[in-house]
């Protein structure tokens, strides 16, 4: 499983290094890969995996501005964070559990979702 940690994950850089180190082992026991951003190219398409969706509201909090990706160079952005089933913008794939009956998305399902972007 892949995790792009976000604001609720104690291993996210917004937490102090001591907190991150305390929790890292527990996260590594569950996830195969942990990365703030994961970039995958498939042919001419480029996808960004990030906990946060693209920042749409430039008046958002400084934390949101700091961690949210910018969409201008990606075919699609795969994100969570929203805790809802709403797709925020074209080109976004919301993998928040709330968007999928509280289920984690398997990679084969994810590629089907990306094909629709």
What is the total count of domains within the chain? 1
Q: Tokens for 112?
A: 């089907």
Number of Cβ atoms within 10 Å of the Cβ of 93:
19
Identify the domain containing residue 49 by its residue range.
2-115
Tokens representing residue 92 in the block: 């976004």
* Sheet arrangement for strand 45-50: 37-42, 45-50, 76-79, 92-94
pLDDT tens digits, one per residue of 45-101 = 888 888 888 755 554 555 655 555 555 677 888 888 887 777 777 788 888 888 888
pTM over 0.85: no
d(CA 108, CA 117): 15
Residue 93: partners with Cβ closer than 8 Å, 6 or more residues away: 76, 77, 78, 79, 87, 110, 113, 114, 117
CA nearest to 20, candidates 32, 9, 6: 9
**Binning pLDDT at 50, 70 and 90, where does residue 34 land?**
very high
Find where tokens 């940690």 sit: 5
């Amino acid at each position: 499983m892949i995790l792009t940690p976000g604001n609720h994950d104690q291993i996210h850089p917004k937490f102090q290094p001591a907190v991150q180190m305390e929790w890292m082992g527990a996260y590594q026991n569950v996830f195969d890969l942990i990365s703030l951003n994961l970039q995958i190219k498939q042919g001419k398409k480029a996808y960004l995996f990030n906990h946060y969706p693209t920042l749409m509201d430039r008046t958002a909090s400084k934390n949101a501005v700091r961690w949210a990706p910018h969409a201008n160079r990606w075919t699609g952005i795969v994100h969570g964070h929203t805790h809802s089933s709403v797709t925020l913008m074209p080109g976004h794939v919301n993998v928040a559990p709330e968007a999928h009956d509280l289920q984690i998305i398997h990679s084969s399902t994810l590629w089907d979702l990306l094909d629709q972007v």
